[in-house]
Amino acid sequence: MNRYLVRGLEGSDNTRLAYATDLATYEAYCTEQQLEPYPGHVTTLAGYVTHLADLPRKLSTIVRHLAAINKKHRLLGLPSSVGAPALDVLMKGIARENGKKQKQAPAFTVAHLKNAIKALDLESAAGLRDRALLLLGFAGAFRRSELVALDLEQIELTETALLLHLGKSKTNQTGEAEDKAVFYAANALFCPVRAFRTGSGSWVARRGRCSCRCGKERLLATRCQLISAFPMCG
């Protein structure tokens, strides 16, 4: 039972990676200041978040650091000072001082999508493939990681839509069966279903093992690198 509790507390692979980096920074700070990291006293955490705010770090980054520290205490079975009233007051002050609206990347709009597709060479297999991936990603609101993990066997073409049978993802940590439908669009040039039907022949012909060392069968050898350049969620 203990290993299941630990796995539940650890979270997703990406979360563990981010938390590990945050914890290394926190532990280095404690070593430098000659403080005990676990259990971390409220004054230790207050000094640490003040240090992060002064660097400066974004409010969301500081909150993530505290979440990592809190989770590490839980995994160790130790009491955590995260959430202590004094620390909450300090965080409110940091939020007022440094919590200005964060800059966000410009949204990838329909106009951007259309311009990107119009710039493709649709006489080539690569252009047809790229159009299908862009339209599938946009219409299905897929993360880049979900597109990278997608294989032909997971795509079912019906009379009314494409059905995509998804596996484990950021929003589906347990890997339960999840289906997503992508429907026809009125304009054939920007229709994800027609684009898939047109480009799928070249995908099958070029299907092979991914070259990014993930060790899995992908639609084509360069797909992971291709998707990483697309401005979609990931």
Ordered per-residue pLDDT tens for the chain, 234 residues: 445 544 555 556 677 788 889 999 999 999 999 999 999 999 999 999 999 999 989 999 999 999 999 999 988 899 999 999 999 999 999 998 876 555 666 778 899 999 999 999 999 888 888 898 899 889 988 887 777 777 777 888 888 898 888 775 555 555 566 788 999 999 999 999 999 888 776 554 444 444 444 444 444 444 433 343 344 444
CA distance 46 to 34: 15
CATH fold, domain 110-228, is hpI Integrase; Chain A (1.10.443)
The Cβ of residue 157 has, within 10 Å, a number of other Cβ atoms equal to 11
> Tokens standing for 131?
């159009």
Q: What is the pLDDT of residue 170?
A: 52
Where exactly are the structural domains of the chain? 2-98, 110-228
CATH class of 2-98: mainly alpha
